[in-house]
Chains A and B, each alone.
Chain A
Amino acid sequence: SSASAPFSVPSAEKVDGFPRRSMRRARQRRSHSSSQFRYQSSQVELTPLPLLKDAPVAELHDLFCKKLQQCCVLFDFLDCVADLKGKEIKRAALNELVESVATSRGVLIEPLYPEAIKMISVNIFRTLPPSENPEFDPEEDEPTLEASWPHLQLVYEFFLRFLESPDFQPSMAKRYVDQKFVLQLLELFDSEDPREREYLKTILHRVYGKLLGLRAYIRKQINNIFLRFIYETEHFNGVAELLEILGSIINGFALPLKAEHKQFLVRVLIPLHTAKSLSIFHAQLAYCVVQFMEKDATVTEYIIRGLLKYWPKTCTQKEVMFLGEIEEILDVIEPSQFIRVQEPLFKQIAACISSPHFQVAERALYFWNNEYILSLIEENCQVILPLVFATLYRVSKEHWNQTIVSLIYNVLKTFMEMNSKLFDDLTASYKVEKQKELKRDRERADLWRGLEEHQDRRMQMLTEAARNQRNLQERGERGDPPSPSSPQTSHSDQPELKPSGASSSSSGGGESAT
């Protein structure tokens, strides 16, 4: 997961006074730039400073610092012709800073750390604007690009070079790259601009690698982002990038797995499969899941049962993705673990085979082309064949799609070769089983009919009882007070199940029972 960002600025990105195509389009669509609050300082007039490479050694750090301060000035990129001179000065300064950090040794001394982090914070941290298309579909729609990218890219590049510099000292950086900083960095992963997310991914990866004290915090905050994504907003642009980082983090987990990590798998990674936009990050998610399994085979059962619990009910596209992930998992599954999950798993696979959507059926049937899976099936033929036989038999006769029918014939043939005795037995008992099933259905219908009749009878009884009671009560009332007062009369208009004088809370029950 290394973003090899170009070191020098491609000429296309240079500000030449004419909007680039992407910028133009962005402008037409009222492109992103965050709050106007950011441009308050744009009144400041920038003056070019001497070049870093010409500076005498004694003044180098001072000049470096001044350039950092100069780069804290923000420009408005939505107006592409505004303050071109200032923009160019800042761009040149950023370029110099990038080059200096990347190539010269001994530049990064302690007093520069707070200045550098301040410059980075001022430039990159902003509240991301609302998506201009509220129904933004990352698969269909063009993302809105960040207008200030010509500067922003250089700031990210600087940050990356800063972190990767051999002079970089985590002990000094940790005072400035703290929890608050990391939290803001993580929020930026929601950016709609893929170029920005790519940089963020690499940068966060370096931060995680170098600043050990932040690791647990970073993992926790990523969890929170995912949980918010799953259960609250269903919207976060950077899920794939964060998962990519997690993939390499999981790779480095120590064994045995800590409870915290297992919890992350079960309560965050698996539920991520429920997201509507799964297709955007499914590859990365499946990679993480398989990483976990390869680390510790005992989590296999959690994973498979989790996937089965969240199996898509209506979205066939997602179903195909799930089947793909199951195959990836089965590719590396331990035979002992396979036995633990084969029953529920193959019930689901049978359900997929009988899907009227031929891609789902096809994807499931492809499992039989996988040699390792085939060997697992063969070893457990006694269990698996009875689970899928009825489905295969029925679908082979009914499916509308000829490819599916011929795939099923192949599967049936394979089974016949595996265990012809069992196959024949199942063929023979197919009709009987079918009859039994029909009988069970009938019994169920009878049971419910009986239950509902019972309910009706009970309701009738209750209503009758209520009526009797009311009559009794009315009679009592008529006898008791010589002239019934109006509130009482109105009271007895309602069907009441309780003797008068009981607590008022049961009147609600009277309503629900009638």
Chain B
Amino acid sequence: RQLRRNGGGGADGDDSLYPIAVLIDELRNEDVQLRLNSIKKLSTIALALGVERTRTELLPFLTDTIYDEDEVLLALAEQLGNFTMLVGGPEYVHCLLPPLESLATVEETVVRDKAVESLRKISQEHSPVDLEVHFEPLVKRLASGDWFTSRTSACGLFSVCYPRVSSTVKAEIRQHFRTLCSDDTPMVRRAAASKLGEFAKVLELDYVKSDIISLFTALASDEQDSVRLLAVEACVSIATLLPQEDLESLVMPTLRQAAEDKSWRVRYMVADKFSETFVSLQMYLCFNCIHSVLTIWLSDLCLLCPVSEQELVSDTNQHVKSALASVIMGLSTILGKDNTIEHLLPLFLAQLKDECPEVRLNIISNLDCVNEVIGIRQLSQSLLPAIVELAEDAKWRVRLAIIEYMPLLAGQLGVEFFDEKLNTLCMAWLIDHVYAIREAATCNLMKLVEKFGAEWAQNTIVPKVLGMANDPNYLHRMTTLFCINALSEACGQDITTKQMLPVVLKMSNDQVANVRFNVAKSLQKIGPVLDSNALQTEVKPVLEKLATDTDMDVKYFAQEAISGKHFTLINVNKLKMAIIKSEMHFNLLVFTVLVLA
């Protein structure tokens, strides 16, 4: 608005300075890189020309010279989306349509998508009248274009103009969308299917029922699985739009059919969207529907993972299963206790025996959902073998992931079950050959002690940890020190002083320098937990001895420990714990990403 006023007021008079020809020469430079640079600064050029000449000279030039490198066109398509002010504000925004229309028909997907994005953006700046006079005809032209590219682009534009046009035009738009849904080329049908949900959202409910459902059904039974799976994706949004009494008859048959599709890609999509769909359906769905869908899935799953013949499980369904495993646990909260036991439990149990560690892990990592509903006891007998197997998996990332869940499992299974079945595992991890596992195992012990208390630690963990101090492998001896570092605070002064400290002090005579300097580090760490008497009479002499060690690292860490940092140690300790925790969290994230990838 302001720009236009200035333009009209004659403040725009830089014509002599910047004749259009010079500027256009820049946009036409032979060197692609220079041309690209100029296009990227198109707003500067437009500003120099003023709104009037941008409209009458620059835009026609841009519309005519659409044959260029895709990279240049991409930059142009992006620029034009932000050009409203430079052509004189919303009143003139329709001037931008011709160049964007050409860009929306080019072959390169990236350019086309950007052009559609810009068109969607500027459609909001059109007045309702301009939308009908200028924008909607453009959509129609694209929708009936010769080549598939323009029709593909049209699919993305229906939903932005539909809500703001008159009912006659609305009817036309619906007709165009219908036509594109049954287009000759699968590319266009895919584009239409992917916009189906979005378009359904702006339609009146009656038309959702009459138009969208039939399109949805048709696309979901397309001859190409790439189209069918996109229709499944739309199911989520469609389901939210419909009243409860219509869901069973309008959506469920198609969904059921997709769940049984002969293409794994479609089944995968259903599995992937399963809980999302359920969340949108659950409010309205009667239990019958859930039952029937679940029965299908149950049979699908049984078919997919024949428990007795693990060899049979092939690549194909692994994808489906992994996706399913990651969502299925969330269903228990929706289904309630009885249904979970009746329908989901067999699934969980089957999946716990799956040959693919990712599937099992997906189930175990989501145990808390089930725990809330039915209690973990129901599962514990089946869980155990799965956990043991994962704990010994050849991939260390899998082992790491299961360690992460140990505190959670321990909390849910209770101390007796843990002592009986899982304790050995936790101790075995301490001597894993991968450092990350040993480190995580150490941290795990700390969390367990926090959960079960110092007394439990004294009886079950501490003796075993301290026993490792005499291990011939120095790495295991160091693990003792790391465990002491982690456990001292949770175990308290008594245990630390009476049981741990003597072991640490004894290890100061270890022949491996790495052990000795870790003794120094440990002493520094557990210092705050000890009483001052022990510090003075026992710790100090040892550290002083280490400070004269032949190894320079031992010396360094001993001096670090001596140099009076005991007072700040508590904070440092906490900080380190926080760091360890966040690292663990990060590891978990990395693992999740890996599994998903």
Contacts and interface: CB of A to CB of B under 8 A. Distances in A.
Interface residues of A, number: 52
Interface in B121-165: 124-125, 147-148
B82 A512 contact: yes
Interface string A28-50: 00111111110110000000000
Interface in B8-59: 11, 14, 17-18, 22, 26, 30, 34, 41, 43-45, 47-48
A209 interface: no
Contacts of A8: none
Contacts of B306: 36
Contacts of A127: 225, 262-265
A461 B22 CA distance: 25
B22 A447 contact: yes
B6 A461 contact: yes
Nearest to A499: B1
Interface string A445-489: 001101110110010011001100000000000000000000000
Interface stretch (A226-234, A247-255, A413-421): A226-234
Interface string A112-126: 000000000000000
Contacts of B34: 444
Contacts of B597: 134
B522 interface: no
Interface in B304-332: 304, 306, 309, 311-319
Interface stretch (A57-65, A86-94, A502-510): A502-510
Contact of B84 (A37, A129, A183, A509): A509
A164 B265 CA distance: 35
B109 interface: yes
A505 B125 contact: yes
B90 A513 contact: no
B288 interface: no
B69 A309 contact: yes
B89 interface: yes
Given A78-B311, A224-B186, A466 B2 contact: yes
B20 to A, nearest CB: 13
Contacts of B89: 506, 509
Contacts of A224: 185-187
A180 interface: yes
Given A231-B108, A451-B48, A455-B47, A509 B1 contact: yes
A129 B264 contact: yes
A449 B311 CA distance: 70
Contacts of B125: 505, 508
Nearest to B309: A79
A236 B368 CA distance: 42
Interface residues of B, number: 56
Given A127-B225, A512-B85, A36 B303 contact: yes
Given A224-B186, A455-B47, A513 B85 contact: yes
Contacts of B17: 450, 454
Contact of B315 (A132, A347, A466, A505): A132
B223 interface: yes
A33 B265 CA distance: 15
Interface in B259-304: 262-265, 303-304
Contacts of B373: none
B161 to A, nearest CB: 16
Contacts of A37: 262, 303
**Which of B43, B312, B315, B317: most chain A Cβ within 10 A?**
B315
Given A129-B315, A444-B26, A462-B2, A455 B48 contact: yes
A129 B314 contact: yes
Interface string B205-235: 0000000000000000001011000000000
A169 B3 CA distance: 75
A385 interface: no
A130 B316 contact: yes
Interface string A380-396: 00000000000000000
A405 B89 CA distance: 57
A497 interface: yes
Nearest to A503: B90
A271 interface: yes
B107 interface: yes
A130 B26 contact: no
Interface string A172-201: 000000001001000000000000000000
Contacts of A30: 314-315, 318
A436 interface: no
B1 A497 contact: yes
Nearest first, the 5 A-B pairs at minimum CB distance are: A127-B263, A129-B316, A497-B2, A509-B85, A231-B109
Interface of B: 1-3, 6, 11, 14, 17-18, 22, 26, 30, 34, 41, 43-45, 47-48, 69, 82, 84-85, 89-90, 107-109, 124-125, 147-148, 185-187, 190, 223, 225-226, 262-265, 303-304, 306, 309, 311-319, 597
10 contacts: A33-B314, A79-B311, A444-B34, A451-B18, A454-B17, A462-B3, A465-B2, A466-B2, A509-B85, A513-B2
